[in-house]
Structure 1
Amino acid sequence: MKRILIRGITGSMGVETASMIISHSDYKLVAGLAEENLNVDLSRLTGLSKATDVSIFADLKEAVLSTKPDIMIDFTVPDGLLPALKQALDLGLDLIIGTTGLQEDEIQELKAYTEDKSATTMLIPNFSLGAVLMMEFASKASKYFPRAEIIEGHHENKADAPSGTSIATAEKLEKTEPFLKEEEIKYTIEGVRGGEKNNVRIHSLRLPGLMARQEVIFGGQGQTFTLTHNTISRSSYMPGVRLALDRIEDKSGFIYGLDKLLD
């Protein structure tokens, strides 16, 4: 039985993941990490009486020595993320990371550190199977449309922008061309065209009422083509988290993206 520690257990995704793990007979949630709210009633947050068996810690090393987990799931924020992940690898844990916001050089450093420790790290920008399929379909569509832009939206408490999903999507698009008339436009508001990744413009919305959504809009001669995915509940991420947990023993090294786990 996989013994699991959740870093960021008192956050929205941490609570959702804790509920799923506690309800699943193949997993055992042994500990949670939370810098604040150490006296939180996890059973009240999850609605599950078994949650009272989960110990909450502020220190990762203490949590590992006390509860002996095999896997750490991380749903926190980008600040201080890489040092915490490296510490977890030093302590012999495999990692499933749902936190986005790592820079490219940090991702490469984490990959090298994982391989040096002969561990398994899964960095998953989005656990929604629908979002993963959207990225796969977008990759295929990009072979036939020369231009693409992305509009992504999240709740206003999201700690990074643009989203990891939008960046991963842009990286998957092939044959996308840059906006050729950039120099001909007079911009009256700086940044109005969004940021750019792989010749793809990305526009970020942060609004109350949103959870997560993304549009990939392709433009070609005389037509546009739009792919849209909406997340309306955090429960939509749980099949992807379960897939990562089920497959982590079969994998080794650094794995980026849930698509690497699909058949």
Structure 2
Amino acid sequence: MSDQKILVVVNGALGKMGRAIVKAVAAADDMTLVGAIDRNLTLIGQDIGEVIGIEPLEIPVMNDLEATLVAAQSEGTAVMVDVTHPDSVYSSVRAALAYGVRPVVGTTGMSAKQIKDLADFADKASTGCLLIPNFSIGMVLLQQAALQAAAYFDHVEIIELHHNQKADAPSGTAVKTAQMLAEVNKNFNPPQVEESEKMTGARGSQTDEGVRIHSVRLPGLVAHQEVIFGAAGQVYTLRHDTSDRVCYMPGVLLSIRRVLSLKSLIYGLDKIL
């Protein structure tokens, strides 16, 4: 790569995750923030740096994503980091790909069909795109440990816990973990009795491979996940706790740098480490 800085647009810049990303990008020596997009109309036009409590960045908060993408791409190689909402993420990522801006997506909740459509579009455009359900290195390590354990345990359930402003359930991280467990090519949780739910959803959701996923939403939580394996006489529990969104920033910055060399859609931080 040349010495030219990576141009970064943050979509969802005024959310808790977006604010942390703006700060991390502004502090990175090899990046320049060129766009801050948000749907909060009360702060449109204000300097994003001043809004989030750092020095002025001379980048106004905007709500016109497409115009910002066009302007960013006209200046050089650009990346869009999307941390918005499941309702809008698909259209935002498709727009970025259409304008030649490489998306790094932390928003979860897209359907399998939407992800497949974006993968096909990225392939045709030969443009890199990263879908990262969780930017934490610790979560990648948990998932790798769970994959190893899955070869030896037939019973497993996932509990994911998040703040009560998270819009989708189960979390993208829990879905990704279950997908990784499916790689061992076996069915989990063989039934021991004929179960009946006295209240719908009491046993959580269930993947085709039999993995149960339970979602908790409470104020005071940030992001947490347990993968619990059980066997005769033993329980093996893997847990990851997030106390501050700063833990995601090394993964975010790594993803911004790595997406530049990609020509297709990649799903999961583990694929680029």
* TM surpasses 0.5: yes
Moved more, 36-45 or 164-173: 36-45
Aligned to 1:236: 247
Matches within 5 A, 1:55-70: 55-68=60-73, 70=78
2:53 to 44, 47, 51: 47
Deviations for 1:181-231, whole angstroms, at most 9, x for unmatched residues? 376223211110000123110000000110010000001222110000000
> What is the deviation of 1:28?
0.1
Aligned to 1:184, the other structure's residue is in SS state coil
- Asked whether the 8 Å contact 2:86–2:110 carries over to 1, the reply is yes
Structure 1 spans left out of the alignment, 5+ residues: none
CA distance in 1, matches of 2:121, 2:250: 28
Aligned to 1:62, the other structure's residue is in SS state helix
Aligned to 1:38: 44
CA distance in 2, matches of 1:80, 1:13: 16
Aligned to 2:205: 195
Structure 2 spans left out of the alignment, 5+ residues: none
1:77 to 79, 85, 106: 85
Aligned to 1:89, the other structure's residue is in SS state helix
2:196 to 174, 179, 186: 186
**Structure 1 length as normaliser, TM-score?**
0.94
Aligned to 2:256: 245
Moved more, 179-188 or 14-23: 179-188
Aligned to 1:171: 179
Residue 250 to residue 62, structure 1, CA distance change in 2 (3 Å): closer
**Structure 2 length as normaliser, TM-score?**
0.91
Aligned to 1:223: 234
Give the length in aligned residue pairs: 261
- Asked whether the 8 Å contact 2:127–2:262 carries over to 1, the reply is no
Aligned to 2:167: 159
- Asked whether the 8 Å contact 1:22–1:50 carries over to 2, the reply is no
- Asked whether the 8 Å contact 1:115–1:254 carries over to 2, the reply is yes
State percent identity of aligned pairs. 38
Superposed CA RMSD: 1.6
Is 1:14 matched with 2:15?
Answer: no
> What is the deviation of 1:176?
4.8
> What is the deviation of 1:92?
1.1
Residue 6 to residue 186, structure 1, CA distance change in 2 (3 Å): same
Deviations for 1:61-108, whole angstroms, at most 9, x for unmatched residues? 211233446111100011022122111111111110000001111111
